Amino acid sequence: MSADPATEAARRRTFAIISHPDAGKTTLTESLLLAGGAIHLAGEVAARGQARRTTSDWMKIERERGISVSSSVMMFEHDGMVFNLLDTPGHEDFSEDTYRTLTAADSAIMVLDAAKGIEPQTLKLFEVCRLRDIPITTFINKMDREALDPFELLDEIHSKLAMDTAPMYWPAASGQRFAGMLDLTTDEFVPFRRLEHGEEGFAIEARQKRGSEGFLAGVRDDVRAELEETAELARDGLPKFDLTAFREGHLTPVFFGSALRRYGVLELLAGLGANAPPPRPLKAKVKGQETEVTPGRNDVSGFIFKIQANMDPKHRDRVGFFRISSGKFQRGMTLKTAAGKGFNVHNPMMFMAQDREIAQEAFPGDVIGIPSHGGLRVGDSLSQSGDVVFQGIPNFAPEILKRVRVKDPLKQKHLRKALESLGEEGVTQVFKPVHGGDLVVGAVGQLQFEVLDERMKAEYGLEVIFETSPYQAARWISAETRADLEAFIERSASQMAEDVDNAPVFLGKSSWEIGYVQEKNPKIRFSDTKERAA
């Protein structure tokens, strides 16, 4: 195997799956892992047998609500390509976490239920992808069930997402009549066969070439006629696949199949391998100069897009998920933030489904887990040289603010520590009013408070009470000169707070008030996102 970062980067596809709950994301993930045998690339990995991911108490919420709150990373290899699948939390309240995960993905698969088309959550996640210009591959799932007309589905994608749709395959009916699909590129038919009960693996049938004797053999006459007619219409009337348009986010290639029946999944994976983008050059400041960091650059660099605590039942550890952007990472390397803080990475982890292993080496596009006892933040850029700062991952201004108190007043100090620790992890944002008083926690969605509540109980033994806060909006503030900033902070001290990084935040009683204060203080910038610099 070549160990050159540019070559290794070129065969990597780092992607996320977006979908509305129940469209089949979990089933598709399982099928994809099955296709890859969930095998990790480095030969000499020392498996840490029993150290499975914890199912800590707070994950109860996930189970009860049937949602996945924590995201994980799964790596697998197929057909010479290395795939890194980043699992995004599916609940709408978790848009902030999802957004962060998507910053680490080079493309996304959008899974649609063939009977339902675009659903609200798909739309929302799609918008997040669009913010980052992430190319999207569409997988229309559950073709083994009665589906909407494929033209209707494609038309809906086109009109709701303002994107061209290029079918790569065309289905022969659906539900009970589902017979397979025609490869619109090669004009071969891929027959659908139902897996036998208990059959493992994929229902791979030989492809049937047009003109050959076996073409559409066994397909009912009505289905055959329908396929020939609709496939021709699709070919003539719908856009052809165009790599540039796809990579720029204007066009989505469309695949059909059934994740549950493990049909169409290998075709989807092949499509991803052939067309989805490998890790791309990223804008960064290197030694203060704006530049692009290419994957082939020797200096290992990347950024932390997620922090997760308590992944190991034995220790109260924290793991920073580090997406590599350049260079060849090797175990034992020291990586530094631009502020000079160094992390010696003795035990990097690679994530595979339920297991973790120590990584010996990793390349651009890969995600490794860096264990730490704090000190790492979401959005941190790390590099061997310590010279690289990527554009940060923003924090979003919270839409809900609450005051938080602990039931047992003797535990006030614990509360602060626990909140700060969970705040650093990005569970919720935490603001300390400069005049003292109760801490204020902020979230983009209500569910974040529930997760916070559960985790405070389970991990810190703290019963907390959330109370309505007089504030409804928070803005990070900055100014041209320090004097201007300090003068404003002094004037507005009763409404000033600091976030976990001690950055100044103005708490407003309404967005109207923020607008008003802004008008009165033209020298102060009020920002509803905060990009972490380094």
Positions in the binding site for ligand G4P (CB under 6 A): 19, 21-27, 141-142, 144-145, 258-261
d(CA 31, CA 499): 42
Nearest approach, Cβ of 22 to ligand G4P (angstroms)?
4
Question: Where are any strands of DSSP class E within 375-438?
Answer: 381-383, 388-390, 394-396, 400-406, 429-433
Q: How many C-beta atoms surround the C-beta of residue 229 within 10 A?
A: 10
Nearest approach, Cβ of 434 to ligand G4P (angstroms)?
44
DSSP-derived pairing of the beta strands 496-498 and 504-508 = antiparallel
Identify the bridge partners of residue 140 per DSSP, sorted by sequence position: 112, 256
Q: Is 20 annotated as a binding residue?
A: yes
Nearest approach, Cβ of 263 to ligand G4P (angstroms)?
8
Q: Is 26 annotated as a binding residue?
A: yes
Q: Is 394 annotated as a binding residue?
A: no
Identify the CA nearest to 28 among candidates 276, 204, 262, 274. Answer: 262
Nearest approach, Cβ of 532 to ligand G4P (angstroms)?
31
d(CA 99, CA 102): 5
CA–CA distances in Å: residue 289 to residues 181, 281, 301, 327, 380: 51, 15, 16, 19, 18
Q: Is 103 annotated as a binding residue?
A: no
Q: Is 381 annotated as a binding residue?
A: no
Q: Is 275 annotated as a binding residue?
A: no
Nearer to ligand G4P, 22 or 420 (CB): 22
The four Cα atoms 241, 242, 243, 247 give a dihedral, to 10 degrees, of -100
Q: Is 19 annotated as a binding residue?
A: yes
CA–CA distances in Å: residue 436 to residues 84, 238, 439, 496: 45, 62, 8, 10
Q: Is 22 annotated as a binding residue?
A: yes
Q: Is 144 annotated as a binding residue?
A: yes
Nearest approach, Cβ of 111 to ligand G4P (angstroms)?
7
Q: Is 312 annotated as a binding residue?
A: no
Nearest approach, Cβ of 166 to ligand G4P (angstroms)?
22
Nearer to ligand G4P, 241 or 263 (CB): 263
Nearer to ligand G4P, 24 or 433 (CB): 24
Nearer to ligand G4P, 88 or 325 (CB): 88
Identify the CA nearest to 382 among candidates 329, 419, 445. Answer: 329
Identify the bridge partners of residue 505 per DSSP, sorted by sequence position: 476, 497
Q: 39 in helix, strand or coil?
A: coil
Token representation of residue 124: 């929302």
Nearest approach, Cβ of 494 to ligand G4P (angstroms)?
46
Nearest approach, Cβ of 139 to ligand G4P (angstroms)?
10
Q: Is 508 annotated as a binding residue?
A: no
Nearer to ligand G4P, 12 or 53 (CB): 53
* Residues 264, 267, 269: CA angle, nearest 5 degrees: 110
| Residue type for position 499 | D
Q: How many C-beta atoms surround the C-beta of residue 187 within 10 A?
A: 14
d(CA 331, CA 58): 32
Nearest approach, Cβ of 218 to ligand G4P (angstroms)?
21
Nearer to ligand G4P, 18 or 439 (CB): 18
Nearest approach, Cβ of 305 to ligand G4P (angstroms)?
22
Nearer to ligand G4P, 144 or 312 (CB): 144
Q: Which sign, positive or negative, has the C-alpha torsion 155, 161, 166, 168?
A: negative
Nearer to ligand G4P, 22 or 459 (CB): 22
Nearer to ligand G4P, 29 or 384 (CB): 29
Nearest approach, Cβ of 258 to ligand G4P (angstroms)?
3
Nearer to ligand G4P, 241 or 255 (CB): 255
Q: Is 98 annotated as a binding residue?
A: no
Q: Is 24 annotated as a binding residue?
A: yes
Q: Is 264 annotated as a binding residue?
A: no
Token representation of residue 90: 């599916």
Beta-carbon contacts of 522 under 8 Å, excluding residues fewer than 6 positions away, are none
3-state secondary structure 487-525: HHHHHCHHHEEECCCCCEEEEECCHHHHHHHHHHCCCEE
CA–CA distances in Å: residue 395 to residues 136, 333, 424, 443, 500: 24, 29, 11, 10, 11
Nearer to ligand G4P, 114 or 245 (CB): 114
- DSSP string covering 7-33: HHHHTEEEEEEEE-TTSSHHHHHHHHH
Residue ranges of the annotated binding site for GTP are 19-26, 87-91, 141-144
Residue ranges of the annotated binding site are 19-26, 87-91, 141-144
